[in-house]
Structures are given as C-alpha cells and as structure tokens.
Structure 1
Amino acid sequence: MYVCVCKGVTDHQIRQHVSDGARSWREVREATGCATQCGKCACYAKSITRDAVQEARQEADMGLAYAV
C-alpha cells in the first residue's frame, strides 16, 4: 500500500529498508524521501518503521537465542 503518495513510497519499501539495516525513521526517510514533501504521511510512516524495527530486533534476539 502506498504510504507516501508524493514520493511513491510503499509500506513494503519501508519494511525492506529496515530489513536491509535501517534502524531509525531518519534512515528510512533519507533512503526513501518519504514525508519530505507535504509530510501528511509522516505519522503513519513512522509507525510502520517503528513496527518493522521492533520485528527486526525480535528476530535478531531469537537468532541469538538459537545460537547459544
């Protein structure tokens, strides 16, 4: 689904950037341009980023638990 119509950014793109290593809204915004034009999408995009980062951290923690 499109999150930022101005820049054509989807929720999948945001999640992919987090999967590729982004760990903050600033990093996602700089990589995608999301919320840099009108800004109406910022709250929703931040929420998606926050959820994706939390999921990535949980996956990393689970991976560490299995490694021990």
Structure 2
Amino acid sequence: MQKHAGCCKGVATARKPESPMYVCICNALRQSQIEALVREGLRCEKQIYRRLGCRPQCGTCLPVARALIREAAPQPA
C-alpha cells in the first residue's frame, strides 16, 4: 500500500503495477525488452531489432530506442 500526501494524507491506496512503455508501436516493442538486451551486451538499435526478429518501420521510435540504450548501458569507469 502507498500513502498519498496532501489532501489524502494518511489514506492508504492500492498501488497499481507499472504499465509497460511501448517504444515501437509498429513492432510492439517495450522499453523492458530493449533494456534487457542492453544488459545482455547489445549496444545498437539495429542489433536489438534484429535480435527481436523485426526492423524499424516508420522510424519514429529510433531516437527513443537510442536514448534508452545510452541510459541502460553501463558507463565506463
């Protein structure tokens, strides 16, 4: 249970599970899929799409996919 501040102070509410964020609507690719593949060592959106058995269609997702790769990739020490 999560408690809200302000007007609902002290009122416990059920916390909803986070919904998956779709990065690519054309291929129904979720953020969690991209992050998992980055953890496996993939560092390029082309590699990720290939591993998932698809390719970008309209291209709108590519900037978001690249940003997710940068954020999820381990940073050099």
Q: TM-score, normalised by structure 1?
A: 0.67
Q: Which of 1 and 2 has greater Rg?
A: 2
Identify, as 1 or 2, the structure richer in helix.
1
What is the root-mean-square deviation in Å for CA atoms of aligned residues?
1.8
2:57 pairs with one of 37, 42, 52: 37
- SS at 1:57's partner residue? coil
Unaligned runs of 5+ in 1: 62-68
String of CA shifts for 1:9-68, please: whole Å, max 9, x gaps.
11100000011111233322322335x111111111111111111xx235xx5xxxxxxx
Higher relative contact order (CA 8 A, sep 6+): 1
* Contact persistence 2:22–2:28 (CA under 8 A): yes
* Contact persistence 2:22–2:31 (CA under 8 A): yes
* Contact persistence 2:45–2:62 (CA under 8 A): no
Aligned to 2:29: 9
Distance in 2 (CA, whole Å) between partners of 1:21 and 1:57 is: 12
Percent identity, aligned pairs only, is 30
Identify, as 1 or 2, the structure richer in strand.
2
Does residue 1:22 correspond to 2:45, yes or no? no
Count of residue pairs brought into register by the alignment: 56
